[in-house]
Amino acid sequence: MTDLRLPHSLPYNARRPFSCAVLLAALLGATAGCGDSNDSPDLGPGDAGPAGMFTGGECDDVTDCAGGTCLLGFERLGEEEFDGSLFPGGYCSVSGCTDDAQCGDDAGCLARPDMLGGVCLRSCTGPTDCRDGYTCAAAPGSTDTRTFCLNDEPDLCAHNAAWEQAGTCILRYAIAAEGAQFQITATSAGLGNATFDVGPGEVVIRTTADADLPVDGPAGVLCHDIRQNFRNIQGVITYTRGSAVSSTSAVLASGMLATGVLTWDTCAYSDTYGDSNTSWTPADTATGPGCLSGYTSTGDVNCAAPEFICGVGNLAVGHNIQDGMWIQPLNSFELANDLSTLTMGGLDRPAESTVSNKVEIPNSSPSRTYLGFTATLVDTDCF
């Protein structure tokens, strides 16, 4: 299914965990951008980097980086707005660099576009050169072909042999970039209301099989993964990933496939659902085998507006690390007759829902947030 919630863990400054949706929906006339989370002096041509700083080392704030800066959330590295990386656990760096000498030993200065200034990254030749949680890769969207230690973002929906069960088929669906829609409603005076195209992503379901073909019968979700990257008109940047993946043979949400509709088993919304735009939070969502269990939301929401404006959206100034897990209700999955497409729109949504073509995602800010998507079948394996 499409990513319905977000969060990640928070080895960063304690921020309020909330769903990305929560998102700054409410940020009135703020201007925000994605930049360093801590102040550090920009280096000019010929300036030396901070003595004794270990580029790529863990940090909680700038004081851990010997005069450099501490990267905490999403940082743009390439030509496009979302060409970049997250920096879980913090990452000591130097901003405004112009040559490698300013970055210390075993590090390099990556030039960035649009007057962002260079940034120092840990050099590497393989994953073992990097600390846990990081891998050795070229910077996304950059013409610099060197490799650096960057956040390791694995293929969460990669095939798991434990999913293979006799008498079943595994169907893998791809959500295209901009193949999903994230909608924010019920913000203050409607100023944060908006719909954003998001993706890409994947949905993996398991169905009943007959003669090595998927047929009607018990079915369920094995994996859901979707990117939710967007920028609102006030400039607040959201860079998150919503996912749920089964590590065993069990499905994460169970239901029944019949005549092109996957209808979920019981999933009871909490009593607070629909009461107001602040009443339904990730702490109290739903229960039942038809809910998507273990849904996580990870990433960053960057708010560069004044504190009181960020606060309207339940955000801190700067990076707001997303790291949460909850149980996510789903609307029914609608499949083409030949199972070639899968859509999660508004079919079988609860009566309290106010958006007709999406499922609601819980959040902790004064707004209501929704997600819908269409995916295309890319692979079928029967056992």
Whole-number pLDDT of residue 334: 98
pLDDT tier for residue 49 given thresholds of 50, 70 and 90: low
Question: What is the residue-averaged pLDDT of the chain?
Answer: 87
- Can you give 304-316 as a three-state secondary structure string? CCCHHHHHHCCCC
Please report, for the chain, the start and end positions of each structural domain, with discontinuous segments joined by +: 20-29+154-382, 62-71+87-151
In degrees rounded to 5, what are phi and psi of residue 62?
-60, -25
Whole-number pLDDT of residue 3: 34
Poorest-pLDDT segment among 10-24, 59-73, 105-119, 237-251: 10-24
Whole-number pLDDT of residue 311: 80
Q: Per-residue pLDDT tens for 83-96?
A: 999 999 999 999 99
In degrees rounded to 5, what are phi and psi of residue 185?
-135, 175
Interatomic CA distance for residues 275 and 280, integer angstroms: 8
- Using CA atoms, how far residue 171 sits from 58, 164, 198, in Å, is 40, 11, 22
Interatomic CA distance for residues 120 and 57, integer angstroms: 12
Interatomic CA distance for residues 170 and 174, integer angstroms: 13
Which residues are CB-neighbours of 195 under 8 A, at least 6 positions away? 181, 182, 183, 184
Whole-number pLDDT of residue 36: 41
Q: Would you say residue 262 has pLDDT above 60? A: yes
Q: Would you say residue 32 has pLDDT above 90? A: no
For residue 381 the two structure tokens come to: 């394996």
SS3 326: strand
Q: Would you say residue 261 has pLDDT above 50? A: yes
Q: Per-residue pLDDT tens for 319-340?
A: 999 999 999 999 999 999 999 9
Q: Per-residue pLDDT tens for 210-237?
A: 999 999 999 999 999 999 999 988 778 9
What is the average pLDDT across 196-223?
A: 98
- Using CA atoms, how far residue 8 sits from 47, 87, 224, 298, 372, in Å, is 37, 12, 15, 4, 22
pLDDT tier for residue 114 given thresholds of 50, 70 and 90: confident
Percent of the chain topping pLDDT 90: 77
